[in-house]
Structure 1
Amino acid sequence: MTGTRIIVGISGGVDSSVAALLLQQAGHEVTGVFMSNWADDGSGECRAEDDRRDAVAVCGQLGIPIRFRDFSREYWHEVFQHFLDEYAAGRTPNPDVACNREIKFKHFLDAAHALGADAIATGHYARVARGADGRFQLLRALDRSKDQSYFLHQLGQAQLAFTRFPLGELHKDAVRRLAAARGLGTATKRDSTGICFIGERDFRVFLARYLPSQPGDIRTPDGVRLGAHPGVCYFTLGQREGLNIGGVRGRPQAPWFVVGKDVERNVLYVDQGHDSPWLLSRSLRTGVAHWVAGAAPSRRFSCTAQTRYRQPDQACEVEVQDDGTLTVRFTQPQRAVTPGQALVLYAGDNCLGGAVIASTDAPAPDASRAVTSQG
Structure 2
Amino acid sequence: MNSLDLPGSPAETRVVVAMSGGVDSSVVAALLKREGYDVVGVTLQLYDHGAATGRKGACCAGADIRDARRAAETIGIPHYVLDYEERFRRAVIDRFAESYVAGETPIPCVDCNRTVKFRDLLGTALDLGAHALATGHYVASHPGPDGRRVLVRAADPGRDQSYFLYATTPEQLAMLRFPLGDMPKAETRRLAREFGLPVADKPDSQDICFVPQGRYADVLEKLRPEAAREGEIVHLDGRVLGRHRGVAHFTVGQRRGLGVAGGEPLYVVRLDAARGRVVVGPREALATRFVRLRDVNWLGDLPLGEIGPEGLPVAAKVRSTRPARPAVLRSLADGIGVELLDPEEGVSPGQACVFYEDDGLRARVLGGGTIMRPEAGTVAAAA
TM-score where L is the length of structure 1 = 0.89
2:97 equivalent in structure 1: 84
Secondary structure class of the residue paired with 2:349: coil
Per-residue CA deviation, residues 261-314 of structure 1 (Å, 9 max, x unaligned), is 222221112235xxx121111111111421124743941210101111131111
| 1:11 maps to 2:20 | yes
Contact 1:288 1:326 in 2 (8 A): no
Identity of aligned residues (%): 38
Give the secondary-structure state (helix, strand or coil) at the position aligned to 1:209: helix
Per residue, is there more helix in 1 or in 2? 2
Q: Which residue of 2 aligns with 1:50?
A: 63
SS in 2 for 1:223: coil
Query: Is residue 2:304 matched to residue 1:296?
Result: yes
* 1:34 correspondence with 2:48: no
TM-score by length of 2: 0.87
2:247 pairs with 1:232: yes
Contact 2:156 2:185 in 1 (8 A): yes
Instruction: Write the distance in 1 (CA, Å) between the matches of 2:211 and 2:376.
Output: 30
Number of residues of Structure 1 aligned to a counterpart in Structure 2? 352
Match of 2:381 in 1: none
Shift in Å at residue 88 of structure 1? 1.4
- Runs (5+) with no aligned partner, structure 2: 3-9, 55-60, 378-383
Equivalence for 2:111: 98
- Please report the RMSD computed on the Cα atoms of aligned residues, expressed in angstroms: 1.8
What SS class does the counterpart of residue 52 from structure 2 fall into?
A: coil
TM alignment of 1:177-326, pairs within 5 A: 177-212=190-225, 213-245=228-260, 247-248=261-262, 251-252=263-264, 254=265, 256-272=266-282, 276-293=283-300, 295-296=303-304, 298-299=306-307, 300-322=311-333, 325-326=335-336
Separation (CA, whole Å) in 1 of partners of 2:295 and 2:207? 27
Instruction: Give the AA of the match of 1:313.
Output: A
Match of 1:373 in 2: none
- Equivalent-residue separation in structure 1 for 2:304 and 2:160 (angstroms): 23
Preserved CA contact (<8 Å) 2:25 2:135: yes
8 Å contact 1:145–1:310 — kept in the other structure? no
Give the AA of the match of 2:372: A
Q: Which runs of 5+ in 1 are unaligned?
A: 364-375
Q: How does 1:106-117 map to 2 (within 5 A)?
A: 106-117=119-130
Look up the match of 2:376.
362
Change (3 A) 1:190 1:98: same
Counterpart code for 2:369: A
CA distance in 2, matches of 1:166, 1:242: 42
SS in 1 for 2:65: helix
Structure 2 match to 1:338: 348
Question: How far is the alpha carbon of 1:224 from its aligned partner?
Answer: 2.8
Deviation at 1:116, TM superposition (A): 0.6
Contact residue 193 and residue 200 of structure 2 kept, 8 A: yes
1:21 pairs, out of 26, 30, 33, with 30
After TM superposition, give the deviation of residue 199 of structure 1 in Å: 4.3
Q: 1:163-204: CA deviations, max 9, x gaps? A: 110110111111111111222111111111111211423222
